[in-house]
Structure 1
Amino acid sequence: MSLLWALRIGALLTLIVPARLGYWLCRVIGIAVFLFHPRARRAVLDNLRHVCPRCSRLWRTHQAARVFITAVMNYYDLVRIRTVDRHRLRELIEVRGWNHVEAALARQQGVIVLSAHLGNFNVVAQYPAELGLEAAIVVERVQPPSLFAYLCRLRSATGVRVLPSGPEAVPAILRLLRRNGILLVAGDRDVTGHSRLVRFFDAPARLPIGPIMLARRTGATLLPAYTIRLSPRRSLVVVDRPLDLVHTDDQEHDLLANLELVARALERMIRTDPGQWAVLQPVWADASPRTPLAEALGTVPASAPGGTTLQATSD
Structure 2
Amino acid sequence: MKERAADALYGLGWGAVKRLPEPTAHALGRRLADGAWRRHGPGVRQLEANLARVVPNAEPGRLRELSRAGMRSYLRYWMESFRLPVWPRARIAASFRPHEIERLPAIMDSGRGVIVALPHMANWDLAGAWVVTDLGIPFATVVERLSPERLFDRFVAYREALGMEVLPHAGGASFGSLARRLRRGGLVCLVADRDLSASGIGVRFFGEAARMPAGPALLALQTGAALLPVTLWYDDSPVMKGRVYPPVEPPETGTRAEKAAAMTQAMADRFAEGIAAHPQDWHMLQRFWAADLARPGPGERGRPDDPRRTAGRGSAP
Structure 1: state its 5+ residue gaps: 291-311
1:244 match: secondary structure: coil
Identity among equivalent positions (%) equals 25
Cα distance between partner residues in 2 of 1:186 and 1:49: 22
Alpha-carbon shift at residue 28 of structure 1 (Å) = 0.9
RMSD, aligned CA: 2.3
What is the aligned counterpart of 1:140 among 141, 144, 163?
A: 144
Alpha-carbon shift at residue 3 of structure 1 (Å) = 3.0
Alpha-carbon shift at residue 313 of structure 1 (Å) = 2.2
What is the aligned counterpart of 2:110 among 89, 107, 110?
A: 107
Specify the alignment match of 1:166 in structure 2.
170
Matches within 5 A, 1:22-37: 22-36=25-39
Alpha-carbon shift at residue 189 of structure 1 (Å) = 0.6
What is the aligned counterpart of 2:155 among 146, 151, 154?
A: 151
2:102 match: secondary structure: helix
Alpha-carbon shift at residue 195 of structure 1 (Å) = 0.6
Describe the superposition over 1:52-75 as per-residue Cα deviations: whole angstroms up to 9, x where unpaired. 111111111111122222222212
Cα gap change, 1:140 to 1:14, in 2 (>3 Å): same
Alpha-carbon shift at residue 286 of structure 1 (Å) = 5.9
Specify the alignment match of 1:240 in structure 2.
245
- 8 Å contact kept, 1:70–1:119: yes
Range with greater deviation from structure 2 (138-147 or 168-177)? 138-147
Cα distance between partner residues in 1 of 2:41 and 2:18: 33
Describe the superposition over 1:235-292 as per-residue Cα deviations: whole angstroms up to 9, x where unpaired. 11221211122142422222222222112111011112110101221111466679xx
Q: Say yes or no: does 1:266 pair with 2:268.
A: no
Specify the alignment match of 2:305 in structure 1.
none
Specify the alignment match of 2:304 in structure 1.
none
- 8 Å contact kept, 2:287–2:293: no
- 8 Å contact kept, 2:233–2:281: yes
Cα distance between partner residues in 2 of 1:202 and 1:33: 29
Alpha-carbon shift at residue 7 of structure 1 (Å) = 2.2
Cα distance between partner residues in 1 of 2:254 and 2:243: 33
Instruction: Give the number of the structure whose residues are more often helix, by fraction.
Output: 2
Structure 2: state its 5+ residue gaps: 296-313
Specify the alignment match of 1:305 in structure 2.
none
1:14 match: secondary structure: helix
What is the aligned counterpart of 1:279 among 284, 297, 309?
A: 284
Specify the alignment match of 1:313 in structure 2.
315
Cα gap change, 1:213 to 1:63, in 2 (>3 Å): same
